[in-house]
Chains A and B, each alone.
Chain A
Amino acid sequence: MAFSGALTLSDLNDFISPSQACIKPVEMAKTSETQGAIKVDDTGSYYEVSQDGSETKLETATISLNDCLACRQTNDPTKHRTVVISISPQTRASFAAKYKQTPLQVARKLTWFFKNLGVHSVFDTSFSRDLSLLESGREFVARYKNAVKKGTIKSPTTNESVPTSSEGGDMDVDVQQDVKATKAPRKRIIRRGVAGASDEPAVAVETESAMPMLASACPGWICYAEKTHGYILPYISETKSPQQIMGSMVKNHFGTQLGLNPDQIYHVCVMPCYDKKLEASRSDFYSDLYRTRDVDCVITSTEVEKMFSEQGQTDMIAFGEVNLDPGYNSVIKDPITGADQVLVGASGNASGGFLEYVMQYAAKELFGIDGIDVDKGLGVEVKTVRNADFREVTLQLPGASEPLLKFAAAYGFRNIQNLVRKVKTGKSPYHFVEVMACPSGCINGGGQLNPPGDNHATVPLKDWIGLADQQYRNSVMARKPEENPVLKQLYEEWLGGVDTPKVKQQLRTGYHAVEQNLINPLAVKW
């Protein structure tokens, strides 16, 4: 780019602003106490010239990609720790799709693989997800009730022409999946409207009654919201994600049962994306007392695959199989075949099923409506709006003029944009939105396995996602979170009840807007 002679220094101000400063602290030992000068030699290396004239070469500060992704403190490898690994069902599905196994086989093989490496226990985050779902449901119902009390939302009038109490099983509304209408040529719509949205929302929002409630399990979404849309943080659910709940459970419950302190356990999670590494490294999930994190390390599906080759074992089909560990696994004895173990889990799509569960739970708790199944389209209307990554799910009584509950799922950046804009201007018609950063959701996370060979030349991405998605649902029996027998125990023994301070401490979290510091480069003292 050639600059013309007329460019002046002051122009720089308008073109380029410095990017957000990296927050990694650079540890540099000060080489001398006294002030020295800095000199640069021909090769561009920096030397500190101390008072007596001697020169010490200064190390260049380096930030590795690993640092950026993990941003974790260096752990002392000499301290022996009990290793626990928690695997996500999306990872399981990814392996099942690629290696053509069933998810149960994958779980058993991964358990065998990790145990051979000396891992103590292998768990399944579907288990902790039950807690996350349950808590999300509870949080939503509490918020809804508060919002009604406050008057920010109107409770739909219940004296409409309501069918008798047998509505439960009778609400078999046909699944209405609207395929996107054939495209008419786009026409311009002009209306004289009100002036555009003002910069900041006028009224401060309180989390305990903020509507809509936005799902919190996706760290990609959380990081983006904290960085760019601080005003939306009060709307986000305070329930921890399945990964972090597993972290709390492993360190503060499982560990106690083994007689170990949290810092004597090394907890690894296997996840479908890289953003989960950022989530694990949040200071909210760090214990000052034991100087340890709830989740010490996150690896992705592809990183596990790399471990296979590092161990010289690339043929997963040839792996051994062992029973899954008792404890935090979602397995029961198969009622049909009598086999020792069959996988169970909450129904819902491959991004965790938050929308499905909260809808079903809220319908029951708030309106006494039973038998809702979003997956099967029972009792609710499911619509695809705009594009495949934006769905609306509405609970409306026949003959009613207003829906009882209106939920949505918004995946992918462009849909997040539209959602955030609507919430900001107060025009969002939803009570709950499941937000995911990746198009198609977690099953298509950045760390999921790729097809063998040259990526997507042979298997188009849409098909590949479809395969993994199929495997996700494959041979996993549906079980509602409240039917998980261990959960009841956990609430009673570990948490001391359903609404105790310990519940808040272990299962809930908070968010922090990132301050944008736009430094004027000319004002910085060099």
Chain B
Amino acid sequence: HQDRVWCAAWHPTKPILATCSGDKSVRIWQATNAEDPTQWQCTNILEGGHKRTIRSVAWSPDGRQLATGSFDATTGIWERDEEENGDYECVATLEGHENETKSIAWSKSGALLATCSRDKSVWIWEVEEENDFECLSVLQEHTQDVKMVAWHPNEELLASASYDDTIKIWKDDDDDWYCSDTLQGHEGTVWAIDFSATGEELISASADQTLRIWRRFKPNNSMGIVPTRRGEPIWKCVSVVTGQHERCIYSVSWSKCNGLVVSAGADNTIRLFTVGPVSEDATGRLTEEQQKTLNDPGVLLEAQCVTKVKNAHGTSDINSVAWYPNEEHGDWLASGGDDGS
């Protein structure tokens, strides 16, 4: 890549990586030897589809299409030609955002695509026949630039993270999508979010140099946490990981197979965490009575930093980290940085 790498995304089933960059292109990489993660070759370059930086890239769950979100306010959908080494061509362009598209995400079924933008809105599209995408909803409840969108691993539930320091949870109620919950607590832009393998937890990375883990509490839960106004599950912060990163955290990924969390950002370091229940002697736990009044579950989980890689991309910021999606190479990790690698 000729410019910074903004995002790295693994193919859902094959050892193929897609990366996108400020050089307005997407590169597809394949390991020269399927078992060896150290040798990669660039097999395709997707160019000419966007007029500006491509900020985010995502594979559809069946691996047949690739979506690219660009600063030119459009989202491109690409498909590969039938033959083995065919070229990718842009089969659809989703327009509508007023300015830079920041992130895109496919739902688990692959029938929905979410996009978000600096114009503070989140759009939900439905995939139709013949590569037509129909806009299902335009959600404008964030008060600032929306940095990232992520779908629940199993349900049709969407989370979005914003410059307004909040995360919003979105659901569908037959006629339209609405904001089911707003997660507050971060003291700076929330740059990235990811769900745990079960989808009961959500982790978020922020400019306030912390990671926060949120857990979903269904109505009538054992801890007595009150549900949302509409009587729906509510998300509460159950852990704050501080003192680790020394600057903004730009990306976080929660492995769906080994449960490890990786995060990276402006301090040029990649950190790995294990997440587990709080150990017996953690201080700061509220008594049961206190919990009930504050409607706060207290600290339930803690993350232990198991290892870190300093200056993983030299002196450059790291923009994206991504775990391999399944057990085949569950310990493979991709990262993209400002150094263009």
Instruction: Point out residues on A near B: beta carbons under 8 Å.
Output: 1-2, 4-6, 14-15, 17, 180, 183, 185-197, 228, 386-388, 413-414, 417-418, 421
Seed contacts A183-B174, A185-B109, A188-B127; 5 additional CB < 8 Å A-B pairs: A2-B207, A6-B338, A194-B131, A387-B176, A418-B135
| Set of chain A residues within 8 Å of B189, measured between Cβ atoms | 1
Please list the 9 inter-chain residue pairs (A to B) with the smallest Cβ-Cβ separation, ordered nearest first. A193-B130, A186-B111, A196-B92, A193-B131, A188-B110, A417-B135, A4-B266, A196-B93, A191-B130
Contacts of A6 in B (CB 8 A): 315-317, 338
Q: List B contacts of A17 (CB < 8 A).
A: 99
* The one of B93, B109, B137 that contacts A187, using a Cβ cutoff of 8 Å: B109
**Measured between C-beta atoms, what is the minimum distance from A224 to chain B in Å?**
11
Say yes or no: A188-B137 contact (C-beta < 8 A), given A4-B266, A196-B77, A196-B91. Answer: no
**Which B residues, 186 to 213, have Cβ-Cβ distances below 8 Å to chain A?**
188-189, 207
A residues in contact with B14, CB < 8 Å: none
Q: B residues within 8 A CB of A197?
A: 93
Check A189–B176 contact: CB distance below 8 A. no
Report the separation of the CA atoms of residues A191 and B99 in the bound assembly, to the nearest whole angstrom. Answer: 30
- Give chain A residues whose Cβ lies under 8 Å from the Cβ of B96: 417
In the complex, are the beta carbons of B127 and A189 less than 8 A apart? yes
Q: How far is the CB of A496 from chain B (nearest CB, A)?
A: 45
Interface status of B175 (Cβ within 8 A of chain A)? yes
Q: What is the CA–CA distance of A194 and B93 in the complex, to the nearest angstrom?
A: 12
CA of A5 to CA of B248, assembled, Å: 12
CB–CB A189/B129 < 8 A: yes
Distance A180 CA – B111 CA, assembled complex (angstroms): 18
Contacting pair B130 A194 (CB below 8 A): yes
Q: In the complex the two chains form, what is the Cα distance from A354 to B137 in whole Å?
A: 25
Question: Are B156 and A190 in contact, with the CB atoms below 8 A?
Answer: no
Tell me the dominant secondary structure on chain B's binding face. loop
For B89-103 the 0/1 string (1 means CB < 8 A from A) is 111110110111000
Determine the distance from Cα of A386 to Cα of B156 in the docked complex, in whole angstroms: 18
For the complex, is B136 an interface residue (Cβ under 8 Å from A)? Answer: yes
Pair A180/B174 contact, Cβ less than 8 Å = yes
Residues on A with C-beta less than 8 A from B257 are: none
The answer to whether A414 and B135 touch across the interface, beta carbons within 8 angstroms, is: yes
CB nearest to A384 among chain B residues: B175
B131's contact among A2, A185, A196, by CB below 8 Å, is which? Answer: A196
Q: Closest residue to B267 on the A side, CB-wise?
A: A4
In the complex, the answer to whether B53 meets A190 with C-beta atoms within 8 Å is no
| B317 pairs with A4, CB closer than 8 A | yes
Select one of B60, B71, B126 contacting A186, CB under 8 A.
B126
Main secondary structure of the interface of A (DSSP, over half): loop
Q: Which residues of B contact A186 (CB under 8 A)?
A: 107, 109, 111-112, 126, 156
6 contacts between A and B (CB under 8 A): A1-B188, A4-B248, A6-B315, A6-B317, A193-B92, A196-B131
Provide the bound-state CA to CA distance between A1 and B207, in Å: 6
CB distance from A20 to the nearest CB of B (A): 10
Within 8 A of A (CB), among B96-132: 96, 98-100, 107, 109-112, 126-132
Q: Give the CA-CA distance A421 to B126 in the complex, in Å.
A: 14
Q: Which of B53, B98, B128, B156 contacts A14 (CB 8 A)?
A: B53
Binding site for A on B (CB under 8 A): 22, 52-53, 60-62, 64, 71, 77, 79, 89-93, 95-96, 98-100, 107, 109-112, 126-132, 134-138, 156, 174-176, 188-189, 207, 247-248, 266, 315-317, 338
Query: Whole-angstrom distance from the CB of B249 to the nearest CB of chain A?
Result: 11
In the complex formed, the residue of A with least CB distance to B99 is: A17
CA distance A377 to B207 in the complex (A): 57
A188, B52: Cβ atoms under 8 Å? no
Given known pairs A1-B188, A196-B77, A196-B93, the reply for A414 and B138 (CB within 8 Å) is yes
Report the bound CA distance from A8 to B248 in whole Å: 17
Most chain B CB inside 10 Å of its own CB: which residue of A1, A6, A421 = A6
Identify the interface centre among A190, A191, A192, A228: most chain B CB within 10 Å of its CB.
A190
Residue of B at shortest CB range from A227? B98
CB pair A196–B90 under 8 Å, yes or no, is: yes
Separation of A15 and B101 alpha carbons in the complex (Å): 11
| Nearest A-chain residue to B112, judged by Cβ | A186
User: A421: which B residues are within 8 A, CB to CB?
Assistant: 95, 135
Chain B CB count within 10 A is highest, among A1, A2, A421, for A2
Contact check: which of B89, B99, B315 meets A195 at CB < 8 Å? B89
Q: Which residues of B contact A5 (CB under 8 A)?
A: 315
Contact B111 A187 (CB under 8 A): yes
Q: How far is the CA of A194 from the CA of B90 in the complex (A)?
A: 10
Chain A residues near B131 (CB-CB < 8 A): 191, 193-194, 196
Rounded to whole angstroms, the CA-CA distance of A183 and B172 in the bound complex is 11
Rounded to whole angstroms, the CA-CA distance of A292 and B71 in the bound complex is 44
Which listed residue, A14, A189, A190, A414, touches B71 by the CB 8 Å rule?
A: A14
Q: How far is the CB of A194 from chain B (nearest CB, A)?
A: 7
Give bound CA distance, A196 to B89, whole Å. Answer: 10
Given A14-B52, A387-B176, A191-B137 contact (CB < 8 Å): no
Compute how far the CA of A407 lies from the CA of B175 in the bound complex, rounded to whole angstroms.
21
Minimum CB–CB distance from B99 to chain A (whole Å) comes to: 7
Closest to B65 in A: A190
Q: B residues within 8 A CB of A2?
A: 207, 247-248, 266
Q: What chain A residues lie within 8 Å of B188 (beta carbons)?
A: 1
Q: A2-B266, A417-B96 are in contact. Are A188 and B111 (CB under 8 A)?
A: yes
Residue of A nearest to B316 (CB): A6
- Residues in A with CB closer than 8 Å to B248 are 1-2, 4
Q: How far does the Cβ of B305 sit from chain A's closest Cβ, in whole Å?
A: 21
Measured between beta carbons, the chain A residues less than 8 angstroms from B132 are 193
Q: How far is the CA of A190 from the CA of B132 in the complex (A)?
A: 10
A188 CA / B109 CA spacing, docked (Å):
7
What's the Cα separation between A414 and B109 when bound, in Å? Answer: 22
Q: Which residues of A lie under 8 Å from residue B64 when comparing CB positions?
A: 190
Q: What residue in chain A is nearest B126 (Cβ atoms)?
A: A186
Are B174 and A14 interface neighbours, CB within 8 A?
A: no
Q: Which of B95, B109, B112, B138 is A413 in contact with, Cβ under 8 Å?
A: B138
Q: Which residues of B contact A417 (CB under 8 A)?
A: 96, 135, 138
B residues less than 8 Å from A15 (CB atoms) = 71, 100
Query: What residues on B are CB-neighbors of A388 within 8 Å?
Result: 175
Given contact pairs A1-B248, A186-B156, A14 touches B22 in the complex (Cβ within 8 A): yes
Which residues of chain A have C-beta atoms less than 8 A from B90's C-beta?
Answer: 195-196
Task: Look across to chain A and name the residue whose beta carbon is closest to the beta carbon of B53.
Answer: A14
Find chain A residues with CB under 8 A from B156 CB.
186
Residues on A with beta carbons closer than 8 Å to the beta carbon of B53: 14
Minimum CB–CB distance for A516 against chain B, Å:
10
